[in-house]
Amino acid sequence: MITYSSRNDVPEIEKWKLEDIYNSQKDWEADVKAIEKIADVLRSYDGKIHDGGTLLSYLTESEKLSFMFGKVSAYAMLQVDIDTRESSAQSIQDRAKQLGVKISSSTAFFMPFLLSLDESTLKAYLKEEQGLKYFEKNLLEAYRYKAHVLTKEKEELLSQLGEALSSPSHTYSMINNADIKFGTVTNDNGEKVELTRGMYSKLIEDQDRTKRKEAYKAYYQPYVQLKNSIASTLAAAIKNNVTTAKIRKYPSALEKALFSDNVPKEVYENLISTTKENIAPLHRYSEIRKEKLGLKELHQYDLSVPIVQGVEQKIGYETAYSTMLNALKPLGEEYIKILDSFKNARYIDVRETPGKRSGAYNLGVYGVHPYVLLNHHDDLSSLFTLAHEMGHAMHSHFSHKTQPQNTAKYSIFVAEVASTVNEVLLIHYLLNQETDETMRWYLLNHFIDKFKGTLFTQVMFADFELKTHEKAEQGQPLNAQVFSEIYEELFREYNGDAIIFDEEVKYGWARIPHFYRPFYVYKYATGFASAIHLADRILKGDEKTLASYIEFLKSGSSDYPLELLKKTGVDLTSPEPIQNALKQFSDLVEEFSEM
């Protein structure tokens, strides 16, 4: 594994080219000033929109502002994530957030105004001003929110609280990325060194159980120590969600979170109930893992190590990229050609460096291109992460190139489909290419673990979110003890009795940043189930499914997410896609048990 002590040591080709957004900080500053002026102009429309022409003028200026602010905020975010310790980067991100608050305040009048119009009046505006045709879908969609939009004064007040309401998430991010200090582990020279996330992801898969346990204890040490502080931020975030839902007259925080995607709560509830009804194969897998590893006791630090021993794959970044391209050939020439071009265009920030944001993500910047953050570690897990994030990047590319600005941004609900299709195609490619039986067993084990992490674990997290929000809605207290009790109970329910529960297990909630994005994680599971269906059809050479899938990638938000998926043959309003995915998991576990 290549490690870097400084970002300066990383080759330029493996770093983002932020100049594609702005050539210099001076250009960024110019757009900030321009946005401030446009925001003032938009505010001046308050009370003055009386015909289609004025409405079109407002909407045109608003879209222009949205385009510029997308670049301003993306540039600030990417600067911070390069090094979360850098105060100058934090400063420009703070300015971008304050600018966002000003924009919200300046435009807060618009939605209450729009919903105060009779629908017949709006349709008359649309008829008299042809330019409004571009905005028609968005304008009519606004009426769906009528019951949840407040008065102009209240909307403006709520917008001014935006930064304060996001404070718990920001505080947790600073704790988790900039300030956290993990415990120490013993390196190969017998020296004690501070654990990093990158080291942890390697050590928790080490065949040496002593190393795994040591890394596990060191990793959880700060989360246990900071449990009360982190519980305070999480409780505040949950209460903010609940309070905002009440203010906006939603039946629950869950239904507020699902509303924009037009997803009925039954989809969320059925995901959890269907998974629990089919949990037995996961419990069976825990038993198999314990047996195959030859352990008297199975602990949480034994759940990530490959069961097949003596198999190590070092996969450099160059090899990983070419392997990914070969694996994704079933998606067609156009897809591969575009994806191949991303690598040398510096769309990807590849290496882990001190202070860099952990994990991986894709950020599509409209009018520019996707930016992908990685912390690549030259292993199989990093290869899958690469394929996953480039699925997001291709989704952004296709939607941004095909859709106009107002429908170019796809919903998070469908985002995980594109990324997971790539992962499923990759594992099938690797299994088909591999002739060594031991390596095939290793890959099958990896697929089962990926399946477990992307579906079962995310459903468990979704269950945790639902239970904690329901407690807040019932006025019950939320603190470290409550979170730990709920998390431990769910961990036992989902993982079965084969696992010994160390003290650290119940503090798992403290390390999950996704909990600060309410009711997000369930989309990994629905996305995975959808991807299983689509990848299976594509691998069988179903040209109709392939064509509909590429169209899906180009669709942005041109329709509701469930409807976009139905066009590819996936209907998530029925339990069938979840059941089919869980059946495949059961088959994989059965096949693995016989090897």
State the Cα–Cα distance between residues 212 and 360, nearest whole angstrom: 23
For 485-536, write each residue's pLDDT tens digit.
Answer: 999 999 999 999 999 999 999 999 999 999 999 999 999 899 999 999 899 9
- Please state the φ and ψ torsions of residue 74, each to the nearest 5 degrees: -65, -45
| Catalytic residue of the set 389, 423, 473, 504 | 389
Q: Which of 307, 501, 526, 493 is nearest to 419 (CA)?
A: 526
> How confident is the model at residue 1, as a pLDDT?
56
Predicted TM-score (pTM) of the model is: 0.81
For the chain, list the domains and their CATH numbers.
Answer: 7-165 (1.20.140.70)
For the residues 139-152, what does the mean pLDDT come to?
87
Return d(Cα 519, Cα 222) in angstroms, integer. 26
Arithmetic mean of pLDDT over the chain: 94
Give percent of the chain with pLDDT exceeding 90. Answer: 82
Q: What is the pLDDT of residues 535-549, one digit of tens each?
A: 999 999 999 999 999
CA distance 326 to 237: 43
Q: Report pLDDT digits (tens) over 305-351.
A: 889 876 777 899 999 999 999 999 999 999 999 999 999 999 999 99
What is the pLDDT at residue 2?
65
Q: What is the per-residue pLDDT for 568?
A: 96
> pLDDT category, 27, cuts 50, 70, 90?
very high
**pLDDT tens, position by position, 83-111:** 999 999 999 999 999 999 999 999 999 98
Side-chain half-sphere exposure of 49, counting CA atoms within 13 A: 26
Question: Mean per-residue pLDDT for 199-210?
Answer: 91
Which pLDDT band holds residue 155 (cuts at 50, 70, 90)? confident
The model's confidence at residue 143, banded by pLDDT at 50, 70 and 90, is confident
Would you call 389 a catalytic residue per the annotation?
yes
Residue 446 has pLDDT above 90, yes or no: no
Return d(Cα 341, Cα 559) in angstroms, integer. Answer: 29
